[in-house]
Each structure stands twice: as C-alpha cells, then as structure tokens.
Structure 1
Amino acid sequence: MIIYKSSIKKFVDDVFANRIDEEIENACLRNLGRSILKTEGASWRHSLGYMERVVREAELPDDCGVLIEYVIPSTFKRIDFIVSGKDDDLNSNFIIVELKQWEKAASTNKDSIVTTFLAGNPERETTHPSYQAYSYKMFLKDFNENVYKGQLLPFSCACLHNYIENNPEPLKDKVYREIVEDTPLFFKHDTQKLAEFIKRHVGKGQGEDILYEIESGRIRPSRKLIDHVCRMFKGNKEFILIDEQKVAYEKAVDMALNATEKSVLIIKGGPGTGKSVISMNVLGGILSAEKNVAFVAPNASFRDVMVKSLAKENRSSRIKPLFKGSSSFHEEEKHIYDVLIIDEAHRLKNGSAYQYKGDNQVEDIINASFVSIFFIDDNQRIRPEDIGTVDELKRVAVKYTKNIEEIELTAQFRCAGAEGYINWLDDVLHIKQTANYDGWNHQEFDFKICQTPQELHSKIKQKNSAGFNARILAGYAWEWTSEKDGNNKAQVNDVCIPEHDFSMPWNSRSMRTSWAIEKEGVDQVGCIHTSQGLEFDYVGVIIGNDLRFNSNDKSYFADWKSYKDSAGKKGLKDDLQQLSALIRNIYKTLMTRGMKGCYVYFCDKQVEEYFKERLKISEGNNLKLMFSDIVSLKEESKICIEEFISEELKFDEYLPFYSLEAACGQFGEGRLVEQQGWIKVEGVGALNRNMFIVRAVGHSMQPKIHDGDYCVFRANVVGSRQNKTVLVKHNSINDPETGGQYTIKKYFSKKKYSDKDAWEHEEIQLLPLNDKYEPIIIKNPDEGEFMVVGEFMGVIK
C-alpha cells in the first residue's frame, strides 16, 4: 500500500504550496480509513520540507518518482521516503530514506541497537537508523520479485535532519561500522552530501515507471533467501526429525506442494512431541520449492527464539519476515499465501484479544492461505480469548474446503522421553485421567519438590553454571510492574514470597522475547507468555496462590484475587471452574518446559501435600533421591555433582567423579568404568583428560586431606613421585580406612642400584600425615602389582 505517490515535480510543488500534509491526510483517509494526528502532520511538514530542499539541491529531473509512507506488503512496516530514477548507466534504481527527527543518541554494545529519547523514555533502546533502512531494503531484495530478479536496484540511507554530528559520533561507533558503510548516515548539515548521494543513483530521471514496478512486484521469497534458510537447517541437530515426526513432516510437505484444492492439515500433540521441530522443518521444505510461505506463531517470545535458534551467528533480520504473529491476517486477500504454517495454534484469538482488529484468527488464516498447516495442543489454552481448539479449526475449515486431515503425535521427546511424567502430571492436575496415577520412573526425569524458593533458585543456578539452559518460571500470581513505572530492565522484584524473605523480578521487558537465551535470564522469572513453546534443560516452577486445593473433596479451585492476569480471567468471575482449568493448563505447560528435570516450589501447602501424596511420599518419609541430591544432603559438603553436563564443559570446567575402586580400575588398569558424575573444579590449574576426582575416606592424611574431601588427582604420573601425595593400588594393601587395596598416602621409596644406571625399588613407604596412623610398608614390590594411579593436585573447596 502507498500513501503518497508522485513525480518529483509534484512533490516539490506540494511542499512549496504548504499542502503536503493535506495530501497525505487525504490519502490516509482514502487508503487507511483514518485521519492523522496534529503531531503527525507537523512531523511530515518538517521532515518533508527538509527532503524537498535536498531534491532541489540535487537538481533531479521532474520525472523522478517519490513514494511517501510506503507500506511494505504483508507487514505493518512503512518506509518513510523513496525516490526513484535511473543512474548514468541507465540502471533502474530507487533509494530508501529513513527519516528521523532525533537530536541525540547513544551507542550500545548490542548489534545495531542504540538508545535515544522515544515515547517519553530518554534512554529507549531501538534499532540504528541505518539498520532500519537496510532491513527494509533487504526485505524487498528477498521478497519483491522485480527487485531480486535484478530489474530494480535498491539503495538505502538514513537522514537525521535535526541531529548535529558529534566528534566522535556515537551513531558511527565501530560496532555499527558495517551497517553504516552499507547504508550511510546523513546529519543536519549534510544536505549537500545527501543531495549528491541521491543524484548519483537516480539523477537521470524516468522514475515514475519504477514506482509502478515497486508497487506491482510479486511478493514471494527469493531463491537466494531460500538457499540461505535451507543452509541453516542442514546439519542443525536442533531440527532433526525422529520417527513419527518424520511421518508428519512428509505429510505436511506433500500437502503443501501437491494440493490441487484448498486444504487444511491439523497436527495434534502434547508437550514435547516435537510440534515445533516439525513445523520449522516444514518451513524449510516448502521454501525450497519456492512457495510463498510464512511461519505463524501467536507468541512473540517463541517466534524470536526460533529465529535466533535458526540463525545462530547469522543476521536474524534477513529471515524475520518469514515469521509472523497471528493478528496480521484479518485484512489479507484470499490465498495471498500458498502456505501458512501455524505453530502453537491453541493460542489463536477471538475478537476480544488486545489490539486485534478482526473477529477470528482461525478464519483469517484459513482465508489467507491455499494450504493451512496447524500444530495444536488443546490442553495449552491459557486465556478465555484462546479459541484454538481442534473443534474450532474443523468448524471454520469446513466453510472453505472438504479437504481436512488430522495427524496425532504421541511419542514424547521432551522430559527425557518420560511420557509417564507427562501422563502423571495430567492426572495429578486433574486435566485428564491417565494410567500414571502413582507416578513414573524417576530415573527418567529429575523431579523434586523444594521446601523454599531459595532452594529452587539455587538448583537452577547450579544447573545453569554446569552448562545447561535452566530457568525459573512462575504462574501469573504476582503483579508485573509496568515499563512506564521504571521496570523495563527487571529493576523491580515483583515475585515476592515474604514468609521466606524471597523476591525476584519478572523477566526483563527490554529482552522479553530473548529472555530464555540471554545469560541474565537465570536471575529473572519467566511467565507463561515468555516461555510457552520453548524448551529448557531444567525448569524451576513457582506455583503461586492462584491455584488452591480443597483436601476434603480432593479438588482444585482458582483464587480469583491471587490470579493477576486481567486478560486471563476476563469474564470468568462467575465461572471459577473454567478459570481453574486455564490455570492448571498454565502450570502443566510450565512444568513440561524442562527436558531433563523440573523443580517445584508450592505457595499453597495444600497443593504441595496433594502432590506429595500422589508421589507416595509424606513429610516423614524420604523422597527417592535423584543423583544430583546425594551430595547436598551431607551438611558438611557443598559440592554439587552433576549427572549430565554439556560436552564442551568436560575437562574444561568439570572433571569426572569416581569411587576410589572405580578410579583405580579406570586409570590404573585401563578398565572402562562409568563415572558417578561431574564436579566443577577451580584453583588447580588447567584441566585435562588425565585428571579425575575421588572422595577421601578416613583421617590418616589430616590436616592436608580430611575425611569426605573431594580430591583432584592427575593420572599418568611422570618423573619422581618422592614425597608426593598419591593414590596407590597394590594387592598386599588392606587399608582399614578404604576397606580395599587402594589408599591415599605420601609416597617415599628406597632404591637399590646394581650399577650406575640400573636400580629397583627395595621398599616403598606409604606415609600418613596423621601420626596416629601407621605407615604401609611394601617390601620388594613386584612390577605390575604396585601401581601409582594418580598424583594429588588439591582439594575442591
């Protein structure tokens, strides 16, 4: 859509006659059905008055073209100013000019992000002006057929006509060098430079036909963009399909590429069945066939994390236009897309949703696409406005087509594959009855009820430090201080549990869409809106007082006052049963975000007691311990043993932990022995694969080594061992402290020489440091029976 289109001559005449704001306002009424604000009119008069002086300075031919407020197809983004024409080589060119009325700005250390005064905030983070113009140019290069086929050549720049350039200039900081070289900046006193830039690219006129080609260009992904995205999928283990996921993928792609009539595919599956993995692969498969396709997700956090997961180190801006929210289709033409892929379809909205101007997002999407592929879980609806159910999809689809198919995913790939845990959670939250009433195999999935929120936070931080992606989540049982009240960067600790003197902030509003993968996120609390659709290795879930339990009739009920999501409880004050169902859906969703484990703290002790009852435990009994809990039960030990860590942390920050017997087998005899876990090590120098950890037994090496100390040893000892502390194995040893043929002692040997160079051990003494213990003496040790397994490097504190 174009708000204002004219020749350079008419544009200059409209500005000179002081009617440019009236022309634009009339165009807004005609094309958008709304009038403009006085501030908008004043802004246009000022900015366009400056551009009129620039194009006059450039002495452009009258038939150059001008577009103002060009709405990029399939987006809500608008390009401020475009001027078109031919260059000296008669190439058909156009220049995108991003106009800013800024007077000052500051640099950041973030890629293409600056701060400036916006919306009353003097330090609001926003994109660099050059980046804005660049991203619009790249969209047209990737999606406008006339541009990516080379019929039109785009250029871009940014003009800050109120901004006096500084020395040094923060907007030209080295962090922005690449983007400014591509898309130059022009400041208040750069009128001549900007005029020369424009004249160089469009100074030969004939631009009005170019405007038509911009406007009429077919919107579809370019081959270059397709290849770029498809390369991202290749070798990306996060997007590999398994078993029934592959079946669903092939069905979806086949329908998308070969359907001869309007079609709808509904793929159903619970948490962890791989819906998002399949949907992303379907996107790649359809793109490679050069179809006009978009990926739709109602949740902005989920969209942004998926883009970043796919893009990795590449610029994510290039693929962002493929990913859309669900509220942007209510005015789209029928079948403007070949295919729409809708993930998290249970979050599609009705007309009551905030800022949504349509009536039914399901209907919008099915109307806009020839093939619609929905991924859905009926039990993840969390608000009354969420209308995405299988029944609703079918109800709408039959109005458009008879070709409607369903696929159900059942295999569990999240929660360590512990389908029993998911089923148990369905049962214990009264979502649906399952066969897993009593629980599941705890060795498959690490689940623990924490007695304090501090314990939960500590566990999550330990997992995060061990290289896992671990986050704290909570139900919407606390207010969320607004950005305008000074809470844009998680400054306010809204999540408070006074009885434990505990408080934490909700996730930062400034990084709400990337909180899940930013390092600061481990000290912030995520909610359902910033975590739904995402996966973590471990989650800690705080279940607030919005969910209550009646122990007399064994039923849940919702606490209206404690549930703080106003949109989530809208219209439900007299229907607390439905509100309770939505809140339980929320907690099930939060408690199934973890792939390896979930730790829970309950604010309501009746809910906690019911969970414990269903786990077949009580306050007087011991909960079956998971491996990571074993060491922490020892009051004297603060060592955390991790069962799993990422490969890159092994022997870099962590060493394997063995029993004394296992260590002697692994490093002494070369037997393959399974370690008991991994421990983070600091203060013993650089780590390597010859190093390991054992736990000392007894008191013979005090004060250097105490009973229970975790000791680092290095295997393959070379050089003299004299007077070094070592781990030794010998058949003649019967150490009363270890109960076996291995011991930790100070090493001393007596040698006898047969000639100048040849010698052998006459006696080896294994000496305690505690004089209450006797040394172990080995006379004439036989080669192969006596073995120094490792040299002591230090104790882990």
Structure 2
Amino acid sequence: MNHSRAIEGRGQYGDMLVYNATKQQFIDDVRANVITDTINNEVARRLNRNSPRNEMLSWENSLRFMMSALLDEGIPASAGVAIEYNIPLTNRRVDFILTGKNPQRADTAVIIELKQWESVEVTKKDAIVKTRLGKGVRETNHPSYQAWSYADLINDYNETVRSESIQLMPCAYLHNMKQGDAINDAFYSHHTGRAPVFISPDALKLSAFLSQHIKYGDSDNIMYRIEHGVIKPSKNLADALASMMDGNAEFLMIDEQKLVYETALDLAHRVAKGGKQCLIVKGGPGTGKSVVAINLLVELTKREMMTQYVSRNSAPREVFKKRLTGTRKKTHIDNLFKGSGSYVNAEPDTFHALIVDEAHRLNEKSGMYQNLGESQIKEIIVASRLSIFFIDEAQRVTLKDVGTVEEVRRRAAECGAEVSELELASQFRCNGSDGYLAWLDHALQIRTTANTDLEGIDYDFQVFDDPSALRRAILDKNRKANKARMVAGYCWPWASKKDKHAMDIVFPEYGFAAQWNLDDDGMLWAIADASVEQVGCIHTCQGLEFDYVGVIIGNDFVIRDGRVVTDAAKRASQDRSVHGYKTLLKQEPEHARKLADQIIKNTYRTLMTRGQKGCYVYATDPETREYFAAFARDSAGQGEDTALEEALDGLHLPIVTREDAEPFERHVPVYDLSIAAGQFSEMQIADAEHWIELPEHLRMSPDLFVSRVVGESMNRRIPNGAWCLFRANPGGTRQGKVVVVQHRSIEDPDYGGSFTIKLYQSEKIEAYGEYVNQRIVLKPQTNAFGYKDIVLEDELEDLKVIGEFLSVL
C-alpha cells in the first residue's frame, strides 16, 4: 500500500476517497507539482470521468493555498489529509479533510469547504448567497451552511463517527476573496457561528483554527475508520412523515434542496402581497423532490398558509396518509393530500400554495373518464397563488402523461403567473450513485452516456437466471426492515382481480407463480406486511422507494443484436398506461411507436431506480437477460482484478483468497500494518482477505504474516515498498531486533500514526530484584535525511510490540 498517496477503495461500498496522505506527504506532493495529476488520474480511474480543465485549475489553486495553511508548525506532520471524500449514500463530496487529535486527544476531523469565489451578495433567503458561478451570477448555499450540512450528513449516516466520538469541525476557506463583509453578514451569523468562514486575509487565522483543533497527529487511522465506518440505513420518507409533520427536521436539506426550499418560501411570502407565481423544479430519481415537497407542506402549513400536497398517482398519497393515521384527525389528513383532479371547479386563488409532486404524471383532463375540466396543470395554477411543480420528464410512463416543463410554462403564461425554474442534482437514491443512473440510461438506450459499464459503481446490481432465485433474494433482504419488493412491467393479465386464487405471473419451468398486488392492499401495497410475496407495477410503486427492488422485465422490452426493441402490444390489455396506442398507431404509426418506446423505457428506468441500495433483475427473454448479465459480470471481474492488483502490487508469490487458503499449513496471511496497529490479534490475522504461499526454505508457523513496509526510515535493511515476513506478538528479548511497535507518543513520519518499524534498543535498571526498561530508543537505519531516533521514557508499560521483522521476501 503506497502511503504517500494512499488511494483507497471501499469494496462493495464504492470508492469513497480520491487522495489520502499525511500532512507532510501532501505538502511534498504539492511542492513537487504532482498533486493535480495524481487527483486527476484517480478521478478518471475510480470515478470513471474526466476532469474538466477548470476543475483541475481549481484543485491546483486551492490545494496550494491549503498547503500554505498547513505549513504552520503547530499542525503535526503526521496529521492526515483526505481530498474528495464521498459522503455515504449521496453523490456529494467533501473538498478537504484534516484529521488528527485535539488538545484533549479526542479524534477529530476538520471538514474544509474550498471555494474559488471572489465576491458574494447577501440575499433575504436563509443560508443563500449570490455569487458568480459559470457564466452568470446565481444563488447558492452559503459555504458555511454547506460545510456544516456535509459534516452533519456524515455524522448522521456514519455510525462509527458517532459511536467512537470522532469530532467533526466544519469550516470554509474562500482564498480568492479579499473583502468579507457580505460573506460574514450578520444575517448569516447562525451558520458562520457553526462553521467559520475564512477569506484571503484570514490565512493565518485559518492556520490557527486548524492547529487549535488538530494538535496531535492521526495516530489511530481516523480517516480510514470514517471511510470504512458502519453506515446507518437511510431513512424512508414515509416512515419519517409523522415526525416531520410534528416539526422535526428528519431530513437535512443540502445544496440545491436548500435553495429550492428557501426559494419556495420566499415566493410564498411574495404572493401574499399579490400576483401569481409558478416554480418548476426539475430532478431525477432520488434527488429529494418528495423530501423538499413534504418539508414545504409542513413549513407553509405551520406559517398558517393554506397548502396542499398534490399527486396524480394515489400510491404515495395513500402511503403518507396511512403513516399519519392516529396522529391527526382524518379530515385534517385528507385535507393535506389531494389528487390532481381535485381542482376542476376550484375558485381562483383558493389556496396559498399547491405543491405538485411527480408532476410529470399529470393528465390533460380529470374524472374517471377523463372528460372533466380543461387542463389539470392550468386548474392547479388558477386555484393557487403559488404552484410548485416537481418534474422528472424521464418518468412519464403513460401515453396520457402531459407533465412537461414546456406545458407548465405554457399554462403559466396563460394564467399570468411568473415562472421560476430550479434543478435538483444531489442524489440520495441508488446509494447516491450518479454513475448507476447514467449507466441505466445507457443500458436502456434512453441516451448515450459516458457510463458504459458498472465498473466502480457503488450499487448492488445483480441479474438472475431464475425468477425464484430473485424472489428468494428479495425475501431475504425484506426480513430486515420490510423494505424490499418485487415489481414488473405490466405484461401479464390481472387474473387474480376476479379470482383471488388465480396466479398472474407464472414461469412453470422455474416453479415460479405470483400475483399482482391485491386490491385488498390497494395503493398501500408498498408497505403492507405480506405484500413482499406479490408483484407491484409502475402504478403502485412510482413516487415510493425501497431498500431493494427486484424487477421482472417482460417481453415488451427485449434486446436483439445489441439493440433495444420495444413492443407496446406485449403489454397486458388491462394496462392503462398504453391505452389508446392502437388507435394512435393507425393514425400516426411512426409517432405512436416513438411515444410507446419512450413510455416503455421510462417505465423500466423508473422501476429499476426504486431501490436505495440495490436492484435485482430477471428478464423473461434470454438474450435480454444475457445483455444485462454481461454488465454485472464485467463489473465484478474488473473490480476484483483491479483491487487485487492494487492491494498486492509487487508481491510475486502465489496468492489465494481466504476461502481457498490452507492457513499456516501452506499459506500465511497478508496484512496491512496501518490497520493492524493497536488492534492486532490472531483472530484478525486469520480473517485476512489474501494469503500467500511462502518459498520452501521458510518454515511455517501460526504466528507469521506478510506485510508491506513503506518509507525510507529503514532503507538499509528494508527497501521502501518491500514485502516482508513478520512474526506477530513475539516474546523474549527485543534488543537489537527490527520490530513493529506502538505507543501513543509516537509520531511516525512514514506511517503518520502511533506505530513505527525501527531497530529496538533499551536501557534497563535493576528494581526490586529484576531488570526493567528505563529508556527505549527506536532507531532508523537509513541513508535518507531527516529521520531521527524516537526516544521513549514515559509510560513504557504502554509500549506494544506488535511484530518482529524476519526477512524481506
């Protein structure tokens, strides 16, 4: 493992860090002009994207300023530096983290939001400023709020941070800004008080802030523990609804979510003085549309503004109502959540605000026979002073869906409403993986993207050859929290609607038979206790989310010679989403096929993004199944090979995994010393992931392990990067031996922690009839400049000898 540039992955959890090193190694990389290339290469390799030139220039600029701030001698050389840390379950990345121990020796991570901004303007919106972004001046989060919200997200999601009391200290550094009156305006004092903001003249103040919180080095692998920490299950909006309605902040709004929320509140107060406003919010799956919508419903209602949550699809409304049952009067609950056809006869400006979720599902007309009114969009705008439309055009899944941005604009103009448009990008579904969503668009051939495979994508995607195996996997995932469901394209008739004993989706060759979601549960299928045995469709799951979703792809979507072929005729006759297709096919065949193709692709895109943690797929068509399976196979193989190559680079001995090892008979474990320090045990050695076969001349023993030694402090005996054989927890005298030791007073320049590999020498005195250590000296054996003896005289009983060096392999 190359500690000067420890580029680490997270296995099945994805690549969480782009760069990780000690303060001294970071400074050396910046001074050697290699830091930008290093980060750029890792972003390309791990995140599967190329860095734009302006992003590379911002790294170059910001990291030089950060290097200057870290030159303060009060910040220990062995403090940890992490760059571009991906917050779990999101697609948000923290610019810069400095880790170490505070004056009380508590583990601490300082989170630093870096900005290139030169000036800002104050707004009247909480935590929102104006600054030049791209080609124009736009509103965005105050950097103090952004830094604090990122720290709070990490604390909320990462159980290790909380349970091990790792202190998170947020701040922001605007190194190009010369004048700070606006950024430090009293209006933002609540946020700057929680996360101070430093500008160009504050460089020494920033150094003082960092040295105040990081007095000692990162001796306990703080960033490693954060990066590999236990992640708390993500919250489900429906489950948190009752608490939110009581005014509790269950979901922290970050970045664009905060901007949308504050903009909507501002517009709500503006229309109180007259006029009509329309806010269009665009956002893909999992960007927080429903979270922002519910938060607005709560806040506007609390401010005594008559507000309703509106959706075309009844499933999310009914689930929300069910979750609120017993907490409020039924009439009150019913008055909060309404269908999109409720405003046909509403008087103008009856409501202060109408919040339309899943607005892409709006119909032209209302009523059971869709013969009432003129336009649902127009009726909503007329009925309310402020109308808010949350739209994802890629989730229009029936021929009658008319909720496009252009249609809302057109209807707003007819009603004399002023239109504002914003976009949500922060991703909270599919493990926060933008890469999965982009790959899915590529795989479904909705659009061409750069994500042509699943390599490095942090999401559990699996393809099954047997639908019964898919069902077993979903049942297993569902046992934990009742948050896994099977769904399918509507390609099978709903026989069980008339005959409760009939099966709808049947694959006799696999012994698989299941029913569509029953009328008994209605639109509550997604949360009903026994519904995991049933199969949902687009109409009962759109607008909702699960932990895991199992998707059965029918013959309406098949692959032929690598190309997607869709066929609306393969849908069941009861499927209302393609109702009218045959008539349209006769009138405008080309338009009908194009429209149906879009509807079918959007349907599977929506179904395959319902899972927050994973999507399991079975396709009825063998060629289609193989098409998706190839993506899963390639991803698994490439990821494992790459990880193995990185982990064991330069180790030229036969290597096997734990499953294939013959422990201490034929193989010995490979272990990472930086992880082992402070917690080394026989059990951990036995749990090592990789094992190697030693050369024949080396005798086997159950206390042996292999590890890589990093740094130049022992280069007369151990070359930098050499793989070496060690004996764990050695007994007897250590005098004159090369050993791995740990002590809290050690600040090792190579490993940046409380352990080190050095030549052991001790001075003993006689006390009470026995010899005890009075002084221990840990000596480097090197030709390199700058390495010094480590002398220990206090608390020698706390010294742990972890391993004894035997030989270079």
TM-score normalized by structure 1? 0.49
Bigger Cα Rg: 1
